[in-house]
Amino acid sequence: MSVRILALVGSLRAGSHNRQLAEAAVKHAPEGVEITLYEGLAEVPFYNEDIDVEGALPEAAARLRTTAAASDALLLFSPEYNGTIPAVLKNAIDWMSRPYGAGALVGKPVAVVGTSLGQYGGVWAQDEARKAAGIAGASVLDDAKLSIPGSVNRFADAHPADDSEVVEGLTRVVRQLTEAGAAA
Ligand code: FNR
């Protein structure tokens, strides 16, 4: 049986380089690993405890929780916005962190990678994503990292799936995540 990895992308724009990174991970997934790019984060409302109750739970949030819970591991792709994690990804983590102690992230292996325009490739945002996922109960792989700087220039003409250095880095992270996902 294959290991199922759910990919969440913290940028909603159509031309997102982080989305392209996720596409590269899907395309180059090792045998026995199934990576699914999650569609629908834009539809998930801002987290609100008033609607996180039976009868009021938004369908988009419920679907995110169910899909994450059914996955063996999560791979988060994050750009950096103003030195930290984009709201869309933080919102997804918040929804997956509840019910407290029993959220979809509890015990789930999680790795965070990404690319950003700046010279550090969004490390602040990716560190924050690791921190938030860990506090939400995930089993975060702190040594499975990939931060690619200068996104706009680096991927101006070449899709990440065709960049051998990027594919090598992604494959390393996916293998680490797969081992953790198979053992979880
Ligand atoms: C940015 N960008 C950015 N880059 C960076 O390295 N550090 C930062 O703090 C920020 N801050 C920031 C804030 C906002 C609101 C935007 C829209 C952008 C630039 C960002 O890295 C660039 O737009 C990436 O290309 C975004 O990732 P996607 O959309 O290509 O996946």
Helices (H), 85-163: 87-96, 123-135, 151-154
Determine the residue type at 76: L
Ligand 1 mutation pick, 17, 82, 117, 119, max ligand atoms within 8 A of CB: 117
User: What is the per-residue pLDDT for 74?
Assistant: 98
Determine what percent of the chain falls in helix, strand and coil, rounding each to the nearest 5: 40, 20, 40
Structure tokens at 180: 């953790």
Q: What is the CATH number of the domain that holds 68?
A: 3.40.50.360
Those residues whose C-beta lies under 8 Å from the C-beta of residue 40, and which sit 6 or more positions away, are 60, 63, 64
Ligand 1 mutation pick, 8, 116, 127, 152, max ligand atoms within 8 A of CB: 116
Enclosing domain of residue 127: 3-183
Which H/E stretch holds residue 75?
strand 73-77
Listed as ranges, residues in the chain with pLDDT below 50 are none
- Output the ligand 1 site: residues, CB below 6 A: 11, 13, 16-18, 79-83, 116-118, 122, 151-152
* Helix and strand totals (H; E) in the chain: 6, 5
Domain total for the chain?
1
Alpha carbon separation from 137 to 88, 102, 116 (Å, rounded): 19, 9, 26
User: What is the per-residue pLDDT for 27?
Assistant: 98
**Interatomic CA distance for residues 116 and 122, integer angstroms:** 5
Distance 91 CA to ligand 1 centre (A): 17
User: What is the per-residue pLDDT for 181?
Assistant: 87
Cis peptide before 30 (omega within 30 of 0): no
